[in-house]
Structure 1
Amino acid sequence: MSEVPGSAGFPLVGDKSYDFYKDPIRFQNKHMEATKSRVFLSRFLNKPTIFIGSSAILGEVLKDHAQHMDFGYKQFMGEIYGDNILFSDGDTAEGLREILKHLFTPESVQSYQYTIERIVKKSIETLDNGDTLCAYKFFKKLATEICLSLFLGLDFSETEADVISQLTTTHWHGIISVPVAIKLPKMSETAFSKALAAKKKLLEIIKKRRDEKCHSFPQKVEALPNLEEDLVNNHLLLFTSALVPKALASILTSFVKEMGHVEKVTIDFVYSYT
């Protein structure tokens, strides 16, 4: 690492994650100019990180040095989600995929359809044609209700659902924060620390609902072969995470926007990615 120009700085105070997220291209160009190199060292997500701005060098790294690399998603997100199929590769990923596919057979998907249709119909009926629509927020709320209803059996007419929904958002914020858990007296916690606390509460809720056997989907996950207790809970955490609704909301918002252009319909969109 000493051969790479640049500096990782000190933990936390030297982190450059915000600069990167604000403008990745400007960040890359600024450091390449400062180091006079297309490969440089900086601190990202509070970890010493080598940035590569050369396709030739990147190809060399992936081809000749892949055996020395770790799975990056697991390194940055593993503590937030725990072990699950998202961070698995090779034979482990193949095995988990083979196990989990039994949750999504045509028969199973058909049984989920009623819940999805009910939630979509209810959400559409609440729309006011005279109001400006925040498409992304609408789809995120819709997808959140679908995921928590399908995979955890929540009833969104109950107060508990709003509390759990907020926990999933707090949990998600840990992914887009510097991975440092600090909690000092009379001082605010870091977003990462709050995310870990939210994860703990969500896992407690998941375990409680499994014990109460109040919904069939957690029981279906329990019944899958070769899944240990932690893997069952971690996969239910992944299925009910804000990660899935956010991804769906982005796709649906882009789709509706493009359809609006095709049909030459004027639609007011307000984007909010908080």
Structure 2
Amino acid sequence: MATPKGNSGYAVFGDKSAEFYKDPIAFVTKRIDEHGARIFQSRILNKPTVFVCTVKGVRDLLVEQHHHFEMGYKAFMYQLYGDNIMFSDAVDAARLHGVIHSLFGNGGLPDVNQLIDRLIERHLSHLDSDATDQSCPSTSIYNVFKRFATELSLAIFLGLDAEKYPELVEECIELTTTHWHGIISVPLSVKLPSWSSSWSSGYSKAIEAKDQLLKIINSRISNADNDNILRHIKEAGFDDTKELAQHLLCFVSALVPKALSSLLTSFTLMTAGPEKEAMRIRASDNSQYLHKVLLEVQRLVPPFIGGRRLTRKDSLIDGYKVPEGTAVIYITYAAHRDPSVFKKPDKFRPERWIDGEQKSEDVLSCFGGGPRSCVGVGLMKNSMMRVCSYLLDHYEWRLPGGQDLTYKWLPVSRPKDPPYVVFCSKGEEETEID
């Protein structure tokens, strides 16, 4: 039984939160190289913290020994989200997982595929002509996907079609944006010198936005009989209207649309250009191969860099002792590059999921794992497949030169600058513009 390398420093003065949140990938990579180990310790949010960057370690944490850990978000997210599955105890979480999985599983929500396809047609059918700058016919694709995903979320969970309720949809988008700014400005239970004094203002506005969103949500619940999908959600088995409203708040918040738009953007960037044409053709003709391509996107660019847990009792994670009371941060990005599991871990190679090199998808933790895995993974993957299939069937695309495609990783991964992509309808010759 080994002790994680590194040290947890001294209270306050030994805290490394500022360094971690500034560039989490650089923080983790530096310490893996320094310690020669993918499990190490430091001090984050003024708490001794063990970082887990191996496939086995993440699986131990999320699956094999999940009962030794509790979710590590309540202290700094509860006021923004209220009671929901993220903060429930194990028994209640299991009940809620059953309720929500019944909605998001295959065939769970009626008419959802038709809704997805309708929004795909609305937002993606003119990518070859919806240029933001006609002198360079390219599309700010992250923004397109974010709008698509936001409208999809509001349509599914609140029955709000942007064409039918344009003003209410815009109000919801503005509120979810304000709410999101509270999430990304929250000081996470510890005040450090680097945090701005303007935090309290942003956080208070986020709380006000949450209250306004809940008023809209409750109003929509009361009219659920007018919408087939929302009525189905209302009848799924939540204990009461309040519990339903709190979960709908989570589902329509900016978190879900940003995660979906992150994955769709990464898929577009990683399959762009003439050198990837054969891959796109194969993925267009073979949905199983497209699934493997998306697995590789999820492996290399997960929407969330990882997650956090708190240790209830002394535990063993991939051979390392983690004492009771310690925080544990698992880094999905790093675990997905574990060289003991993935050959050429930094290379985008969908074939690894076909040739027997990777026999199971369980090595991925893009959507968490175990009893606390993402409840919306089925809906997320279905939406991704339908969007990506549409793009492959209708377009060729490439990346204009001169772009900085460096990623930011917190709170949701995406390129630091919104990337531009040139789309050309299949069967039409692209006109090059210098």
- RMSD of aligned C-alpha atoms? 3.8
Which residue is equivalent to 2:50? Answer: 52
AA aligned opposite 1:174:
G
Which residue is equivalent to 2:37? Answer: none
Identity within the alignment, %: 37
Q: Determine if the alignment matches structure 1 residue 169 to structure 2 residue 172.
A: no
Q: Determine if the alignment matches structure 1 residue 248 to structure 2 residue 251.
A: no
Deviations 1:118-167 (A, max 9, x none): 11101123432553222211111110011101111113131221111121
Query: Quick check: 2:109–2:229 contact (8 Å CA) kept in 1?
Result: no
Q: 1: distance between equivalents of 2:23 and 2:105?
A: 42
2:212 to 183, 195, 201: 201
Deviations 1:85-128 (A, max 9, x none): 23446332221122223323544445112221111101123432
Which residue is equivalent to 2:326? Answer: none
AA aligned opposite 2:203:
F
Query: Quick check: 1:76–1:179 contact (8 Å CA) kept in 2?
Result: yes
Deviations 1:231-261 (A, max 9, x none): 1111111111111111111111111112215
Query: Quick check: 1:5–1:39 contact (8 Å CA) kept in 2?
Result: yes
Deviation at 1:68, TM superposition (A): 7.6
Q: 1: distance between equivalents of 2:156 and 2:210?
A: 19
Q: 1: distance between equivalents of 2:168 and 2:235?
A: 26
Q: 1:230 to 1:179 in 2, by over 3 A?
A: farther
**Aligned positions of 1:87-102 closer than 5 A:** 87-88=87-88, 90-102=90-102
Q: 1:242 to 1:136 in 2, by over 3 A?
A: same
Q: 2: distance between equivalents of 1:23 and 1:121?
A: 37
Unaligned runs of 5+ in 2: 1-6, 35-39, 190-197, 279-396, 406-414, 419-434
Which residue is equivalent to 1:6? Answer: 9
Q: 1:68 to 1:203 in 2, by over 3 A?
A: same
Deviation at 1:18, TM superposition (A): 4.3
> Highest relative contact order (Cα 8 Å, sep 6+), 1 or 2?
2
Which residue is equivalent to 2:324? Answer: none
Counterpart secondary structure, 2:150: helix
AA aligned opposite 1:215:
D
- Normalized per residue, which structure has more strand? 2
AA aligned opposite 2:12:
G
AA aligned opposite 1:171:
H
Which residue is equivalent to 2:382? Answer: none
Which residue is equivalent to 1:117? Answer: 117
AA aligned opposite 2:101:
K
Answer with 123-132 or 167-176: which moved more: 123-132
Query: Quick check: 1:206–1:237 contact (8 Å CA) kept in 2?
Result: yes
Deviations 1:27-71 (A, max 9, x none): 5769xx9xxxx64545x2xxx32233698xxx7xx7xx9878542
Deviation at 1:78, TM superposition (A): 2.5
AA aligned opposite 1:153:
G
